[in-house]
């Protein structure tokens, strides 16, 4: 909301208060000061100058070279692009050194090879309201050389953010009332309204919806002249950034910003009979003042006439047909109390909002309805002439929306830490307009409907007292660590390990596009209905809750490839979302770790060859991440991916590995294969638990035997490992594959065969093995391999 | 015999001395001390030496063997030293390193971990809750009226099921109080969602850190002391902290917290970093209703809550001007942390 300091000063004396003080005062009252905009000319070096000569610039069609008299005794040459002046006009001239709004300082300069010693200015360039295009033409009697700032009033525009609980601050009077309470200074009295007698109940106003409109008032003013507003009124509205329209509309806008009560003026000629406040008929059409068309529903509140014609969408916007125009002679001025919920629903549903709806939605002062109408009548009579009815007509009555609230001194003391005496607290409430009743409870003014409970009073006291005046206490209860603590610690271990293994952690947005879902590699494949879509996505790029980490990582990798990154080693940890069983089980959130590897696994150097990431790099990475878990990849097809595997640790599946389809890699402009893995963090965390007992170190030496084996090239290595594991040779403690040889040409080895070299380690825990024992054990393993896996030994 | 030994010794020492590499030295050793070496053969001749001379010849032999062995060892270490020197020469340690891949943690993780570490030292335990929430936990229980603007479909992501993406981590307050009794002292880092177009200062998915302390005598001094200490630990012990009155539906009184930051070459500025307040009694009432007990009796239970944007803290900490850098994962950005 915009507040003009000059306008504010009509309600309270701010003399001697700096802008900084007012800023602090508002800030610590709970009103956020978002901007402070000085209005008017600030620099002394912008002076009145008369244009004595203007000739065409030799090198620029659109520029003229002027000679101006700025009261310096000699003429000043200034290059100027404006067209709207004539020689002899007086205009603002910014002399060298003048600072213009926006921090721009004028210097002597050369423009297209012609010297220019200053700048002739338009209104907007020196901080005045924008006028016609071109230079600001000053009055002919302006004294040459005089600072222009002396010709115009200055002001300060305060851009304020009022919290939704304080609608009473949404006007100059309301803001002044708050500042007066904080400053302990009196408010200036309000001018008297312009109607003779007290309001009278009227049968020409009919309220069919008293819940939505408990109080409605109207007054007819006849014989008005709709025209431009007087300067003071236009200036007030312009000072807070409003565009003056005509005297009638301007008065209603002025009163709204003066007192906070929205008003509306109808053209009386457009009203057939009396006024009816009723709910709209379903499907009723309405054209608002801004010419937008709306189909109304029964929940909307309208003002109609007795013929049934809809004149206004109550509290939100007037109708195009019933509005005040230049030909309007008689008006009916509305001032009413509409309850907030209905206005909010209608405003939201129709996407129509106005300064009126903004205030009604938050709540206006029911006691402010009539005084606002009275002020408006006075101002309309002053600015538009005509004559008003003797009294304001009204229907319904002002609702009572506040009730007395008691202040509990003990509770106040507890919450404030004893930092304020009860008398001081009570004084704060009194200053804020509350009054203590004989029963000790506090009477709440009608404009403070936010004060309903004890805690609301405490809030006021704490706010005005200030937290700066409350002591700090550093105490706290001991609480046990939670399962979430344990999970967090495990995740940080994983994160640090991954970083140490040369991976960068990513953070991607959890809403992805439908197209990206194709890159998802969740632990369980997705079925139709398993993805979760938001109802109204901001864009199709962010419409689906990610079911997997991989789409985000792929997108991050693509972005980096476009920036010429070669080595992609990325991971992300966090939540994934899905339904399960085709939507049978809803909204499952689980936590996973996604890994992506592509391109060189290490920097290439002067004696370091390039190694492009392959599946075994990712497998090694997973093994290093979860040491002690025997990590195995067990091939299992996944739609949309190549060489997919389940990642297994011992006998459980903990994740999925795959390569993107080569066609997908090409589509995304990857030059190297892209390998991804997604791991179930719940399972991985458990595997990180560590050991319970250390193992004894071997006391006796072991010995190893190598075996060169030839098998069909299609035989998976896991079969050989399986046979070795299954034969359960007691003396065999470990084995490893240390060479794989194939020869597609068939020269050294048949093309459909492969040669594997394994090393077997034998040891007994209770003795040094004899060579014969080792040989016998080794033979048992080899026999098993040849019998169960068809291995031939070379 | 007696005369041969000095000659053998002299010959051997000469051969050893002449050897210029390991191989020649080994040849010399074999020629003298090997099975058929000159000294070995000479020693074999002892059996023919007259008994009375045996002692003297033996001594001569031993002396010769000792001097030859010593010469061999000396030569051996001399040669080794030359070899070592050769091996070490020509290593240009000014050549570039053989680089290892380097990775790193995301700045959000770093700032979150720092904040969590401080708060855990202060005795807070971690808590969490679902990101796909219902209106009760996200709004109703937090004293947010049914027609509150934040509940608008324009501002909040809803699902056809009627559920929504939590707009703040404050829903974890509700989840926690439903399942535990006072005292409660928790922090909850997590994602929150708002229907904001993504630009330099907004993300539709962002990260918050929520805190809640509920016990029997929690007061504004506790709130102030806790958050001042936390922010001074995070931003530096001399950091000025101020509390501006504000409004949140679920706390009363409510405050926004600013810290005064000095960026090199700039005037110190107050920067908003968090919101906080005393838990509104209406929240306790809603919790009791949900729990069907009076574990959070508003007459005797008090508490404070706070929340802050981690993305914002990261931006402040490292002078990140565009919030989108935090979700784009450009390696050139990530490798700076």
Q: Measure CB to CB from residue B245 to each of A30, A507, A556 and give the nearest one.
A: A30
- pLDDT at site B266: 78
d(C-alpha A141, C-alpha A253), whole Å? 34
Beta-bridge mates of residue A571:
A505, A595
Q: Which two tokens stand for residue B294?
A: 């009076």
Residue B312 has φ and ψ, to the nearest 5°, of -65, -40
Rounded mean pLDDT of chain B?
Answer: 92
Instruction: Tell me what the mean pLDDT of segment A108-117 comes to.
Output: 90
Q: Are residues A490 and A619 in the same domain?
A: yes
Q: Are residues A29 and A166 in the same domain?
A: yes
Q: Are residues B302 and B186 in the same domain?
A: yes
ipTM given for this complex: 0.88
Q: Which residues contact B232 (CB under 8 A, 6 or more apart)?
A: B238, B239, B241
Domain at B282, CATH number: 3.30.930.10
Please report how the helices B107-121 and B310-318 are oriented relative to each other, as an axis angle in degrees rounded to 10: 110
Q: Measure CB to CB from residue B99 to each of A164, A414, A605 and give the nearest one.
A: A605
Of A165, A142, A132, nearest to A89 (Cα)? A142
Cα R_g (chain A), whole angstroms: 41
Q: Are residues B171 and B300 in the same domain?
A: yes
Domain count of chain B? 2
Residues 344..373 of A with a Cβ closer than 8 Å to B: which? 344-345, 348
Cα of B246 to nearest chain A Cα, Å: 5
- Helix residue ranges, H only, A147-198: 172-183
Beta strand segments in A506-567, E: 511-512, 532-533, 544-545
Q: Are residues A57 and A140 in the same domain?
A: yes
**Interface contact A502, partner B, CB < 8 A:** yes
- pLDDT at site B311: 95
With a pLDDT cut of 70, the percent of chain B lying above it is: 100
Q: Which of A420, A444, A469 is the last residue of a domain?
A: A469
Q: What is the pLDDT of residues A775-789, one digit of tens each?
A: 999 999 999 999 998
Q: Are residues B177 and B282 in the same domain?
A: yes
Residues 480..499 of A with a Cβ closer than 8 Å to B: which? 480-482, 484-485, 488, 492, 495-496, 498-499
Q: Are residues B161 and B189 in the same domain?
A: yes
Residues 20..59 of A with a Cβ closer than 8 Å to B: which? 27-30, 32
Of A87, A44, A94, A48, nearest to A67 (Cα)? A87
- Helix residue ranges, H only, chain B: 4-18, 22-33, 38-44, 51-88, 107-121, 135-138, 171-179, 220-235, 281-291, 310-318, 325-328, 331-334
| DSSP letter for each residue of A612-657 | B--HHHHHHHHHHHSTTS-EEEEE---TTEEEEEEEEETTEEEEEE
- Interface probe with A: pick from B206, B329, B337, most Cβ of A within 10 Å: B329
d(C-alpha B172, C-alpha B182), whole Å? 15
Domain at A778, CATH number: 3.30.70.380
Q: What is the pLDDT of residues A65-97, one digit of tens each?
A: 999 999 988 999 999 988 889 999 999 999 998
Q: Are residues A636 and A712 in the same domain?
A: no
Beta-bridge mates of residue A545:
A511, A532
pTM of the model: 0.86
Q: Which run of H or of E encompasses A569?
A: strand A568-580
Q: Which of A367, A396, A425 is the last residue of a domain?
A: A396
Cα of A453 to nearest chain B Cα, Å: 10
**Could you give the C-alpha distances from A353 to A317, A342, A732, in angstroms and in order?**
8, 13, 81
Kindly tell me if the per-residue pLDDT of B164 is higher than 90. yes
Q: Are residues A641 and A657 in the same domain?
A: yes
Q: Are residues B197 and B256 in the same domain?
A: yes
Burial environment of residue A159 by CB neighbours within 10 A (0 to 12, 13 to 18, 19 or more): middle
Does residue B38 fall inside a structural domain? Answer: yes
**Interface contact B114, partner A, CB < 8 A:** no
Residue A284 has φ and ψ, to the nearest 5°, of -60, 135
| CA A522 to chain CA centroid, nearest Å | 30
Q: Are residues A209 and A303 in the same domain?
A: yes
With a pLDDT cut of 70, the percent of chain A lying above it is: 99
Q: Which two tokens stand for residue A756?
A: 């594997």
Q: Are residues B112 and B183 in the same domain?
A: yes
Residue with tokens 């106003």: A205
Does residue A640 fall inside a structural domain? Answer: yes
Q: What is the pLDDT of residues A688-717, one digit of tens each?
A: 988 889 998 999 999 999 999 999 999 999
With beta carbons less than 8 A apart as the criterion, state whether B250 and B278 touch: no
Kindly tell me if the per-residue pLDDT of A161 is higher than 70. yes
With beta carbons less than 8 A apart as the criterion, state whether A424 and A174 touch: no
The boundaries of the domain holding residue A359 are 200-396
Q: Are residues B244 and B312 in the same domain?
A: yes
d(C-alpha A85, C-alpha A136), whole Å? 9
Does residue A78 fall inside a structural domain? Answer: yes
Does residue A694 fall inside a structural domain? Answer: no
Q: Which two tokens stand for residue B301?
A: 């239970």
Does residue A212 fall inside a structural domain? Answer: yes
d(C-alpha A237, C-alpha A739), whole Å? 86
**CA torsion angle A243 A244 A245 A251 (round to 10):** 130
With beta carbons less than 8 A apart as the criterion, state whether A54 and A65 touch: yes
Q: Are residues B313 and B280 in the same domain?
A: yes
* Contacts A–B by Cβ distance under 8 A: 246
The boundaries of the domain holding residue B279 are 107-334
Q: Which of A469, A498, A516 is the last residue of a domain?
A: A469
Does residue A475 fall inside a structural domain? Answer: no
Q: A556 to chain B: which residues are within 8 Å by CB?
A: 328-329
Kindly tell me if the per-residue pLDDT of B187 is higher than 70. yes
Does residue B101 fall inside a structural domain? Answer: no
Domain count of chain A? 6
Angle of CA points A684, A685, A688, to nearest 5°? 90
Q: Are residues B82 and B118 in the same domain?
A: no
Residue A556 has φ and ψ, to the nearest 5°, of -65, -40
The most distant pair of C-alpha atoms in chain B lies apart, rounded to whole Å, by: 127
Q: What is the pLDDT of residues A425-476, one digit of tens each?
A: 999 999 999 999 999 999 999 999 999 999 999 999 999 999 999 999 998 8
Q: How confident is the model at residue A196 (pLDDT cuts 50, 70, 90)?
A: low
Q: Which residues contact A317 (CB under 8 A, 6 or more apart)?
A: A288, A289, A290, A352, A354, A356, A357
Residues 527..566 of A with a Cβ closer than 8 Å to B: which? 532-538, 542, 545, 556, 559-560, 563, 565
d(C-alpha A499, C-alpha A497), whole Å? 5
**Could you give the C-alpha distances from B88 to A607, A668, B76, in angstroms and in order?**
18, 49, 18
Q: What is the pLDDT of residues A325-363, one digit of tens each?
A: 999 999 999 999 999 999 999 998 999 999 999 999 999
Does residue A428 fall inside a structural domain? Answer: yes
Q: Are residues A458 and A491 in the same domain?
A: no
Q: Which run of H or of E encompasses A552?
A: helix A550-562
């Amino acid at each position: 909301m915009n507040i003009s300091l000059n306008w504010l000063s009509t309600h309270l004396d701010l003399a001697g208060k700096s802008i900084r003080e007012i800023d602090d005062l508002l800030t610590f009252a709970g009103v956020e000061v978002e901007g402070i905009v000085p209005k008017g000319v600030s620099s002394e070096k912008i002076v009145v100058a008369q244009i004595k000569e203007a000739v065409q610039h030799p090198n620029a069609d659109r520029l003229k070279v002027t000679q101006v008299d700025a009261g310096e005794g000699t003429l000043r040459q200034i290059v100027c692009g404006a067209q709207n002046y004539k020689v002899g006009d007086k205009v603002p001239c910014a002399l060298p050194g003048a600072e213009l709004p926006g921090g721009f300082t004028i210097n002597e300069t050369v423009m297209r090879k012609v010297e220019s010693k200053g700048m002739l200015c338009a209104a907007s360039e020196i901080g005045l309201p924008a006028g016609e295009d071109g230079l600001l033409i000053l009055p002919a009697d302006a004294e040459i050389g005089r600072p222009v700032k002396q010709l115009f009033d200055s002001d300060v525009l305060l851009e304020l953010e009022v919290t939704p609980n304080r609608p009473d601050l949404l006007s100059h009077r309301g803001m002044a009332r708050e500042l007066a309470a904080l400053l302990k200074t009196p408010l200036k009295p309000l001018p008297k309204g312009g109607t003779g007698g007290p309001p009278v109940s009227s049968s020409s106003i009919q309220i069919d919806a008293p819940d939505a409109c408990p109080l409605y008032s109207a007054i007819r003013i006849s014989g008005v002249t709709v025209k431009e507003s007087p300067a003071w009124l236009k200036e007030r509205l312009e000072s807070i950034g409003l565009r003056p329209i005509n005297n009638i509309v301007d008065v209603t806008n002025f009163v709204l910003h003066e007192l906070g009560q929205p008003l509306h003026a109808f053209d009386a000629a457009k009203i057939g009979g009396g006024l009816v406040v009723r709910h709209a008929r379903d499907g009723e059409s309405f054209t608002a003042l801004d010419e937008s068309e709306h189909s109304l529903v029964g929940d909307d509140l309208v003002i109609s006439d007795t013929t049934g014609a809809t004149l206004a969408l109550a509290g939100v916007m007037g109708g195009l047909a019933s509005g005040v125009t230049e030909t309007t002679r008689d008006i009916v001025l509305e001032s009413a109390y509409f309850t907030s919920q209905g206005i909010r629903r209608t405003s939201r549903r129709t996407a129509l909002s106005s300064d009126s709806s903004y205030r009604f939605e938050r709540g206006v002062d029911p006691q402010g309805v009539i005084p606002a109408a009275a002020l408006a009548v006075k101002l309309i009579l002053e600015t538009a002439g005509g004559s008003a009815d003797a009294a304001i007509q009204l229907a319904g009555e002002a609702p009572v929306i506040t009730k007395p609230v008691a202040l509990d001194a003990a509770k106040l003391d507890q919450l404030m830490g004893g930092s304020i005496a009860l008398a001081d607290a009570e004084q704060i409430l009194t200053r804020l307009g509350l009054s203590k009743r004989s029963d000790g409870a506090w009477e709440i003014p009608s404009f403070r409907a936010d004060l309903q409970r004890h805690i609301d009073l405490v809030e006021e006291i704490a706010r005005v007292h200030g937290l700066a005046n409350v002591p700090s206490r550093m105490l706290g209860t001991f609480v046990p660590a939670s399962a979430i603590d344990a999970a967090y610690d495990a995740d940080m271990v994983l994160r640090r390990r991954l970083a140490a293994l040369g991976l960068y952690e990513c953070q991607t947005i959890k809403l992805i596009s439908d197209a990206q879902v194709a890159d998802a590699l969740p632990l369980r494949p997705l079925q139709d209905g398993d993805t979760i879509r938001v109802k109204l996505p901001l864009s199709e790029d962010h419409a689906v809750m990610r079911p997997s980490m991989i789409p985000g990582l792929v997108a991050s990798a693509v972005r980096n490839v476009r920036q010429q990154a070669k080595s992609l080693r990325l991971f992300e940890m966090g939540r994934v979302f899905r339904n399960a069983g085709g939507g049978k089980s809803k909204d499952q959130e689980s936590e996973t770790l996604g890994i992506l590897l592509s391109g060189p696994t290490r920097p290439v150097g002067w004696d370091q060859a390039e190694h492009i990431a392959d599946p075994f790099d990712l497998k090694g990475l997973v093994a290093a991440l979860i040491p002690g878990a025997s990590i195995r990849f067990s091939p299992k097809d996944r739609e949309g991916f190549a060489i997919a595997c389940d990642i297994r640790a011992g006998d459980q599946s903990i994740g999925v590995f795959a390569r993107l389809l080569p066609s997908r890699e090409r589509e995304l402009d990857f030059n190297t294969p892209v390998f991804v893995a997604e791991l179930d963090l719940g399972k991985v965390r458990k595997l990180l638990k560590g050991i319970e007992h250390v193992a004894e170190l071997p006391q006796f030496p072991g010995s190893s035997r190598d075996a060169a084996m030839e098998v069909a090239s299609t035989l998976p290595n896991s079969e050989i490992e399986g046979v070795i594991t299954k034969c359960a040779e007691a003396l065999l403690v470990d084995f490893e594959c240390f060479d794989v040889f194939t020869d597609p040409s068939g020269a050294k080895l048949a093309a459909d065969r492969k040669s594997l070299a394994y090393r077997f380690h034998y040891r007994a825990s209770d003795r040094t093995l004899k060579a014969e024992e080792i040989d016998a054990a080794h033979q048992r393993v080899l026999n098993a391999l040849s019998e169960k896996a068809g291995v031939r030994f070379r | 015999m007696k005369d041969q030994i000095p000659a053998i010794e002299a010959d051997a020492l000469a051969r050893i001395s002449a050897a210029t590499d390991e191989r020649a030295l080994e040849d010399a050793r074999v020629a003298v001390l090997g099975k058929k070496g000159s000294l070995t053969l000479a020693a074999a001749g002892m059996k023919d030496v007259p008994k009375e001379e045996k002692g003297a010849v033996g001594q001569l032999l031993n002396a010769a063997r000792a001097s030859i062995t010593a010469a061999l060892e000396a030569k051996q270490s001399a040669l080794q030293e030359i070899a070592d020197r050769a091996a070490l020469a020509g290593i240009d340690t000014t050549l570039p390193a053989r680089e290892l891949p380097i990775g790193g943690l995301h700045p959000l993780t770093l700032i979150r971990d720092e904040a969590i570490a401080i708060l855990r030292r202060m005795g807070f335990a971690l808590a969490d809750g679902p990101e796909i929430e219902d209106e009760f936990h996200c709004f109703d229980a937090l004293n947010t009226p049914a027609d509150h603007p934040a509940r608008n479909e324009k501002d909040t992501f809803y699902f056809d099921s009627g559920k929504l993406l939590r707009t703040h981590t404050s829903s974890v307050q509700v989840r926690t109080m439903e399942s535990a009794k006072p005292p409660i002292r928790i922090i909850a880092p997590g994602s929150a969602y708002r229907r904001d177009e993504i630009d330099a200062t907004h993300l539709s998915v962002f990260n918050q850190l929520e805190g809640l302390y509920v016990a029997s005598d929690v007061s504004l001094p506790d709130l102030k002391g806790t958050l001042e200490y936390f922010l001074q630990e995070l931003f530096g012990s001399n950091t000025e902290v101020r509390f501006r009155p504000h409004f949140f539906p679920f706390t009363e009184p409510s405050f926004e917290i600013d810290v005064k930051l000095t960026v090199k070459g700039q005037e110190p500025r107050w920067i908003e970093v968090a919101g906080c307040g005393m838990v509104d009694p209406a929240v306790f009432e809603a919790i009791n209703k949900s729990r069907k007990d009076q574990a959070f009796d508003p007459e005797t239970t008090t508490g404070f809550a706070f929340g802050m944007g981690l993305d914002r803290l990261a931006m402040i900490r490292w002078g990140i001007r565009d919030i989108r850098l935090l979700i784009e994962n450009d390696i050139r950005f990530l490798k700076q942390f």
